[in-house]
Amino acid sequence: MGQRRRFSAEYKREAVAMLEARGVTVSQIAADLGIGANILGRCF
Protein backbone atom coordinates (compact mmCIF):
# COMPACT_ATOMS: atom_id res chain seq x y z
CA MET A 1 0.00 0.00 0.00
CA GLY A 2 1.23 3.52 -0.75
CA GLN A 3 1.92 6.16 1.81
CA ARG A 4 -0.70 8.74 2.59
CA ARG A 5 0.17 12.22 1.41
CA ARG A 6 -0.13 15.11 3.83
CA PHE A 7 -0.80 18.64 2.73
CA SER A 8 0.07 21.73 4.74
CA ALA A 9 -2.61 24.17 5.80
CA GLU A 10 -1.08 26.75 3.46
CA TYR A 11 -1.31 24.35 0.49
CA LYS A 12 -4.97 23.70 1.28
CA ARG A 13 -5.76 27.41 1.56
CA GLU A 14 -4.10 28.08 -1.80
CA ALA A 15 -6.04 25.25 -3.46
CA VAL A 16 -9.36 26.60 -2.18
CA ALA A 17 -8.38 30.13 -3.22
CA MET A 18 -7.73 28.83 -6.75
CA LEU A 19 -11.27 27.45 -6.85
CA GLU A 20 -12.80 30.69 -5.66
CA ALA A 21 -10.70 32.99 -7.83
CA ARG A 22 -10.74 31.13 -11.12
CA GLY A 23 -14.14 30.03 -12.42
CA VAL A 24 -13.02 26.55 -13.36
CA THR A 25 -14.22 23.18 -12.17
CA VAL A 26 -12.94 21.20 -9.21
CA SER A 27 -11.75 18.53 -11.65
CA GLN A 28 -9.60 20.99 -13.59
CA ILE A 29 -7.96 22.40 -10.45
CA ALA A 30 -7.36 18.91 -9.06
CA ALA A 31 -5.70 17.85 -12.32
CA ASP A 32 -3.46 20.95 -12.21
CA LEU A 33 -2.45 20.10 -8.64
CA GLY A 34 -1.99 16.39 -9.35
CA ILE A 35 -4.58 15.22 -6.83
CA GLY A 36 -7.96 13.53 -7.09
CA ALA A 37 -11.05 15.68 -7.50
CA ASN A 38 -12.70 13.84 -4.61
CA ILE A 39 -9.92 15.00 -2.27
CA LEU A 40 -10.24 18.60 -3.36
CA GLY A 41 -14.02 18.41 -3.27
CA ARG A 42 -13.90 17.60 0.45
CA CYS A 43 -12.66 21.14 1.15
CA PHE A 44 -16.22 22.45 0.80
Q: Tell me: pLDDT of 23 over 80.
A: no
Q: What is the pLDDT of residue 15?
A: 84
Q: Could you tell me which residues come within 8 angstroms of residue 35 by beta carbon, excluding any fewer than 6 positions away?
A: 5
**Which pTM value belongs to this model?**
0.63
Listed in sequence order, the residues at least 6 apart from 12 whose beta carbon sits closer than 8 Å to its beta carbon are: 43
The residue extents of the domains of the chain are 9-41
Q: Residue 14, by phi and psi: left (phi above 0), alpha (psi -120 to 50) or beta? A: alpha
Of 7 and 41, more confident: 7
